[in-house]
């Protein structure tokens, strides 16, 4: 069964002039579910901001293994079904082998290779990281694709086993979400004092 991947979310916010210049996205991250008919518990929210060719990812994901590093990647398809496996493999439009975000691109890494996130003793990964050569704009935009957290640490392609060169040998997928675009609209509604609406459309 294909999971519907269109979500419309409205919230009232205000932006500074510098925030308005940045391209922004958001992913609501859910615990992986084998049965698409079961509820998908919310595990966290991740915000994506691109400014001056730097992608900043911030937010948190809960329900992880305490104290462990977890592989963190953008996957090719915006579908969270079938234990996040419907998202298919890492986003890799250039057909490269797997690597880490600090390694040369495009020679050694997938566009979607974001390395690892560290879970706390409470099983929560608090994320605030900057990445280059992956973003929300251009021909390789990650809008509409899935962000996936894996059960194990990503070996960044250095593990010496076949899976190192494709997945970082990071194991099963434990949480995932779809990266939607945040769009600013000027709207006037009764009792809202002409607040600005943010619309996240996930497709």
Which residues on adjacent β-strands are paired with residue 70? Answer: 117
Q: What pLDDT is stored for residue 174 in this prediction?
A: 99
Residue 21 pLDDT: 62
pLDDT class for 106, splitting at 50, 70, 90? low
Least trusted range by pLDDT, from 12-16, 31-35, 142-146, 162-166: 12-16
Q: Which of 24, 26, 173, 181 is catalytic?
A: 173
Q: What is the residue-wise DSSP string for 144-200?
A: TSEEEEESS---TT-SSSGGGGTTTT--SEEEEEEEEEEEEEE---TTTTSPEEEEE
Q: Is 173 a catalytic residue?
A: yes
Q: Beta strand 69-75 with 42-51: parallel, antiparallel or unpaired?
A: unpaired
Q: What is the pLDDT of residue 185?
A: 56
The yes-or-no answer on residue 90 being catalytic is yes
pLDDT at residue 102, as a whole number: 79
Q: Which parts of the chain fold into alpha helices (H)?
A: 17-21
Q: With 0-12 CB in 10 A as exposed, 13-18 as middle and 19+ as buried, what is 122?
A: exposed
Q: Token pair for residue 137?
A: 């704009």
State yes or no: pLDDT of 198 exceeds 70: no
Query: Regarding predicted confidence, which is higher, 203 or 129?
Result: 129
Integer Cα distance of 201 and 47 in angstroms = 14
Is the model's pLDDT at 75 over the cut of 50?
Answer: yes
Q: What is the mean pLDDT of residues 49-75?
A: 97
Q: Provide the mean pLDDT of the chain.
A: 85
| 3-class DSSP assignment, residue 49 | strand
Of the listed 24, 109, 150, 181, which one is catalytic? 150
Domain limits, the chain:
8-12+22-94+111-137
Residue 109 is among the residues annotated as catalytic for this protein:
no
* Confidence bin at 94 (pLDDT 50/70/90): very high
- What's the gap between Cα 52 and its chain centre? 19
Q: What is the fold of 8-12+22-94+111-137?
A: Immunoglobulin-like (2.60.40)
Which is the catalytic residue, given 90, 96, 109, 145?
A: 90
Q: From the candidates 24, 26, 75, 145, give the one annotated as an active-site residue.
A: 75
When pLDDT is cut at 50, 70 and 90, the band that residue 4 belongs to is: very low
Predicted pLDDT of residue 1: 40
**Please, which pLDDT band fits residue 22 given cuts at 50, 70 and 90?**
confident
Identify the active-site residue in 73, 96, 109, 145: 73
pLDDT at 15 over 80: no
Q: Is 2 a catalytic residue?
A: no
Catalytic residue status for 110: yes
Q: Which position among 98, 109, 145, 181 bears the catalytic label? A: 98
- Indicate which residue of 26, 70, 109, 113 is catalytic: 113
Residues 78 and 202: their CA atoms lie apart, in Å, by 8
Greater pLDDT, 199 or 87: 87
pLDDT, tens digit, 9 for 90 and up, residues 107-156: 789 999 999 999 999 999 999 999 998 999 999 999 999 999 999 999 99
Residue 108: per-residue pLDDT: 86
Measured CA distances, 192 to 30, 127, 183, 196 (Å) = 30, 32, 18, 9
Annotated active-site residue in 24, 26, 96, 110: 110
Residue range 29-34: mean pLDDT, rounded: 97
């Amino acid at each position: 069964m294909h999971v519907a991947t269109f979500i419309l979310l409205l919230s009232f916010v205000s932006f500074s002039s510098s925030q308005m210049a940045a391209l922004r996205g958001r992913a609501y991250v859910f615990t992986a579910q084998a049965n698409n008919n079961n509820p998908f518990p919310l595990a966290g929210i991740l915000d994506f901001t691109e400014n001056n060719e730097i992608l900043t990812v911030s937010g948190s994901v809960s329900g992880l293994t305490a104290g462990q590093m977890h592989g963190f990647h953008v996957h090719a398809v915006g579908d969270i079904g079938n234990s996040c496996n419907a998202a298919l493999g890492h986003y890799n439009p250039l057909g490269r082998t797997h690597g880490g975000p600090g390694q040369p691109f495009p020679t050694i890494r997938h566009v979607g290779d974001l390395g690892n996130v560290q879970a706390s003793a409470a099983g929560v990964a608090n994320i605030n990281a900057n990445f280059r050569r992956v973003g929300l704009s251009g021909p390789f935009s990650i809008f509409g694709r899935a962000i996936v957290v894996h059960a194990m640490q990503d070996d960044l392609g250095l593990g010496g086993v076949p899976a190192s060169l494709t997945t970082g040998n990071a194991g099963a997928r434990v949480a995932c979400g779809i990266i939607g675009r945040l769009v600013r609209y000027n709207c006037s509604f009764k009792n809202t004092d002409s607040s600005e609406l943010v619309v996240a459309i996930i497709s």
